[in-house]
Structure 1
Amino acid sequence: MMKIISTLKEKSKASLMVVLFIAVLASCSKKDDPVPGGGNPPPSNTTSAAKEITGLTILKSENANITGDGYFYKSGPKIYITIPLNSTLSNVKVNFSLSAKASIKVENVALTNNSGSLDLSKTLTAIVTAENGTTQSYTILAQTGIKEIDAMLYPFIEKYSIPAASYAIGKNSTESIVYKSGIGFADVNAKERATPDHEFRLASMSKQHTAIAIMKLVQEGKIGLDQLVFGTTGILKDFWPNVGAMSAKVTVRHLLEHTAGYTGDPMFNGTSATLDERIQTMLNSAQSEPGTKFSYYNMGYGTLGKIIEFVSKKEYGAYLKEIYGPAGIEVHLSSSSATSRRAKEAVCYPQGSSTAYAGNVEVFKAAGGVSISSDNLFKVLYSVDGGTIRPDILTPATRALMFTKSTVANYALGWRTGHSLFEGFYHGGNLIGTATFWIYGTEYSAAILLNSRSNETNFDTELIVLTNNIMKKAKELNL
């Protein structure tokens, strides 16, 4: 009996050793081996959350209604598309590349094999669904255009969070626009697409229009460039007959050239002061000898607006319409709020500010309150350029005066000049909710109008470089 018990104990130990050996083998199983990159492979039942549009193609070979392959630029949830000019956008086959195991719907219609014929003339919404059911929405904005130029604008407005841009390039020898386009949203909430017909607030590019208006009065003999502005013999003597000795020397030319010598600029000081009250503040400020020093000065152009209204006996905006009307040019003053804007007037969007509509447009209109489309902007340019194709508003002699550089700075009458990147005349504009730049070059001219501005350090410089680059590209493409 004892022998039987001993034998059972031995068998029990052997069985235990086998179990322990199997357990050790199991602990060394390959399923727990480290994988490349560290960590363990996911359980086999894990589903993918990837839901990206990774690319797309639009091929001429698949679309009889387009003149070349399409170009796209993707930035986050936005996809910009340029189809070559003279194409039809209403029925275009688009092939999407997606994350693995994802699917796509465009305007709630599922695409077969991630391809479909889309109406690219509309703003489209694409929804990509991952394998695990989560979704990502994309906005598709397509247009016909020149991809080499559009490709410069798309990344710029996305980098600086600009809702919309309107841009145009003109060829000076033909006094005509050779390319114009609008991208993004003139009204974000309404998803109103920007076009070259949309008006944008010009900010300080308004100063060229004030200069043209003044030169028109000079041309008509109603004022003189070297006529005094203040004091007992000045144009505005009825308003400011008694001024300081320095102010009594200020001429129309000094105001146009920013050489009146005043310090401090009350134009955009955030108060409710009237234009006349701001001019008085200017007259009370410290001043250097007029004509000896350049200092960019908005209030000087506010004063020029006062001169225009007093001499013409018309409101500033009405006088612009009078001189531009015969040339077929539409121009307005900027609206004072987003809700009061005109049809086809882009909404201004602030960055880092509560509103883009602070200040009284009636006060700063001659310094920064003009609103115009890029199309009409070029009509203005080619009505003062001295060309022979489009009738000019100004005579050759008056035009020559306007584009004559100051003796103390690279500034003519309302126009900057002498830039290191390009030849010709230029100006920019910058207010909360708007940024603009245009170049009147030697062969081509270019303008970019934006409905927001960025406070980032390089924004202004990059806008100048961009405007110059699209002008250079027009020449390179021989537009």
Structure 2
Amino acid sequence: MARSSVSRRTFGKLVGATGAGVAGAGTLLGTPAHAAGWVTTGTPVSALSSFDDTMMTFMQARGITAGQLAVTYNGRLVLARGYANNSTETVQPTSLFRIASLTKSLTATAILRLVQDGLVGLDDPITSLLSFIPPAGQSVDPRLSQVTLRRLLQHLGGWDRNLTFDPLAGDAVIAQALGVPMELRREDILRYMSGQPLQHDPGSTVSYSNYGYFLAGRVIEKVTGLPYETYVKQKLLAPLGITRMTHGSSVARLASEVSYRSQYSGPTALDNSGTIVPSPYGTFSMNLHDANGGWLASAVDLVRWSTMLDGAGGLLTSTSLAKVTAVPATGVNDSGWYYGLGWAVRPFSTSTGTKYNLWHTGSLPGTYSLLVKSYQGMSWAVLFNQRDDPSGLSYADIDSALWTAAGKVTSWPTNNLWSTYFGPWSTVVDNTTSGRFTASTTWAVASTLAGRYGTSYRRARPVAASDVAWYKVNIPETGTYRVEVWYPASSGNNAATPYLVATSTGSKSVYVDQRSNGGAWRSLGTFTLTAGDANKVGVSRWASGTGYVVADAVRITRV
């Protein structure tokens, strides 16, 4: 396969620049002493030893103390490894790292899901979705009305940090201009930028924009009424069984999170003290970077996330997935790659049509990340706990190094580690999951009650007739499964809402008092379900009383 790795590395400077300019070249720090030697975790796979060799050689040359790699082949997780070099900490395959700009693939997918659910349009102007109120004496650039969601996600919004500065890396500048203290709030960024001119006409020039994805995060919150993180966890991660991923903190570290290193330090962006801190811990605000670079993940989580591009979890329909790789109006590189919706894309002409390699890199002080999904059935994610060191060697070179490692594999193993790191099979279907929920028009869409799963739920009045809202689930194999339901509780709901479970021996009814115990998963019990893609759980209107019966979300887990 023609890899054009030089072009990918060049593009990596663009797509992996979440933290470009954030504590870039501050005061040099001394290197702490560590215990000598390598500690690796996860099961070694002899057929894939080239990946281990590559990771250890790469890390050794740069003095990287913590690394992680996960590899899939033809849908199977075949390698999951943690690497610690001269470090006092052990890196597990499930340890969490900041992923920086890989976050953008989640944010773009969240917007596409809103489009798919009919809540927004890709060509909606952002001025119709958000309020832009500039500081006194300043005005909004009239061209802002030409910035659409599509242009935001394709870095065609018109902002150019190379001609001004990155507002997600200019905390002190913005604080001084607005006369507000640090740590900045998201509304401070929005207000300051509302009074700044665009550097290009929207749609005319590709310029990587963290601010564009910052705005996309605000759109998600405005449209759904949910915090950005909550929406992504519920709508995108839960259906894939991803539970570890979460937002990172500027200073505090989770028990399962690695420590971050940099040879630089700089003034804190978390208050006005001017205190000099290590670059990874406080020279930027992780809270501000939420939608453009704020997630934590492990490498196994990231390759699991990439399966959504194959339709896993029912997150996006084939029509929506085609939008991810659609060629933008401008910005196709001379060698053929371009930035799609949240991913860098390289098309390949094959005997069965056009196929795509997709990837993204990420970079923050203390972080370097890469996620690759090849049309030839391979994917990998790599994470490091630093992006700089005195050697001056490139971190982007891990891209070509891993392609070389893959090329050395003579026979791919048949193992599959998914269940090791994600536990039993589980899936979530809610009332907006495309192709997975069906209900008559008498089931009204509602969003007034707190405690709903996602953006909405369905409700209907009881009736002495069969009118079932069905959840369609693809059960992988016949066996025992736990069925759980989620609904927003209300005194106006039914005291005995009938749930139907299509078991291997017929339909079973379970009655739930939806007036209480809502806003969480509630078990209906365990049932034997038959393999296959069919309606498995329903909510019936054939109930006594007058309260609403509610259909919100269903979770099915193998036990």
Name the TM-score, length of structure 2 as normaliser: 0.55
More helix by share: 1
Instruction: Give the match for residue 285 of structure 1.
Output: 197
Q: How does 1:68-217 map to 2 (within 5 A)?
A: 138-139=36-37, 141=39, 144-145=43-44, 146=46, 147-171=49-73, 173=74, 175-184=75-84, 188=87, 191-217=88-114
What's the CA shift for 1:194?
A: 0.7
- Conservation of the 8 A alpha-carbon contact between 1:161 and 1:454: no
Instruction: Give the match for residue 523 of structure 2.
Output: none
Higher relative contact order (CA 8 A, sep 6+): 2
Pair 1:448-2:359 in alignment = no
Instruction: Give the match for residue 342 of structure 2.
Output: 414
Local SS of the residue matching 1:329: coil
Pair 1:439-2:372 in alignment = yes
Instruction: Give the match for residue 368 of structure 1.
Output: 293
What's the CA shift for 1:415?
A: 0.6
The change in CA–CA distance for 1:419 and 1:429 in structure 2 (over 3 A counts) is farther
Instruction: Give the match for residue 280 of structure 2.
Output: 356
What's the CA shift for 1:177?
A: 1.2
Q: How does 1:266-415 map to 2 (within 5 A)?
A: 266-271=167-172, 272=182, 273-283=184-194, 284-323=196-235, 324-330=237-243, 331-337=245-251, 340-353=252-265, 354-358=278-282, 359-386=284-311, 390-409=312-331, 410-415=338-343
Instruction: Give the match for residue 255 of structure 1.
Output: 152
What's the CA shift for 1:463?
A: 2.0
What's the CA shift for 1:412?
A: 0.1
What's the CA shift for 1:311?
A: 1.0
- Conservation of the 8 A alpha-carbon contact between 1:259 and 1:294: yes
What's the CA shift for 1:201?
A: 0.5
Instruction: Give the match for residue 403 of structure 2.
Output: 468
Local SS of the residue matching 1:280: helix
Cα RMSD after superposing both structures: 2.5
Local SS of the residue matching 1:435: strand
Instruction: State the one-letter code of the partner of 1:412.
Output: G
The change in CA–CA distance for 1:348 and 1:138 in structure 2 (over 3 A counts) is closer
Percent identity for Structure 1 against Structure 2: 27
> C-alpha offsets along residues 63-122 of structure 1, whole Å, 9 cap, x if unaligned?
xxxxxxxxxxxxxxxxxxxxxxxxxxxxxxxxxxxxxxxxxxxxxxxxxxxxxxxxxxxx
What's the CA shift for 1:138?
A: 4.7
Instruction: State the one-letter code of the partner of 1:291.
Output: G
Q: What CA distance in whole angstroms lies between the structure 1 residues aligned with 2:188 and 2:40?
A: 49
> C-alpha offsets along residues 368-389 of structure 1, whole Å, 9 cap, x if unaligned?
1111111111221112323xxx
Instruction: Give the match for residue 129 of structure 2.
Output: 235
The change in CA–CA distance for 1:180 and 1:470 in structure 2 (over 3 A counts) is farther
- Conservation of the 8 A alpha-carbon contact between 1:351 and 1:433: no
The change in CA–CA distance for 1:473 and 1:169 in structure 2 (over 3 A counts) is farther
> C-alpha offsets along residues 241-273 of structure 1, whole Å, 9 cap, x if unaligned?
973221111100111000011133211114333
- Conservation of the 8 A alpha-carbon contact between 1:446 and 1:470: no
Instruction: Give the match for residue 456 of structure 2.
Output: none
Q: What CA distance in whole angstroms lies between the structure 1 residues aligned with 2:232 and 2:40?
A: 35
The change in CA–CA distance for 1:373 and 1:261 in structure 2 (over 3 A counts) is same
User: Is the radius of gyration larger for structure 1 or structure 2?
Assistant: 1
Q: What CA distance in whole angstroms lies between the structure 1 residues aligned with 2:169 and 2:406?
A: 32
Local SS of the residue matching 1:177: strand
Deviates more, 1:200-209 or 1:448-457: 448-457
Structure 1 unpaired stretches of 5+: 1-136
- Conservation of the 8 A alpha-carbon contact between 1:262 and 1:282: no
Q: What CA distance in whole angstroms lies between the structure 1 residues aligned with 2:228 and 2:363?
A: 21
Q: What CA distance in whole angstroms lies between the structure 1 residues aligned with 2:69 and 2:38?
A: 20
What's the CA shift for 1:399?
A: 1.1
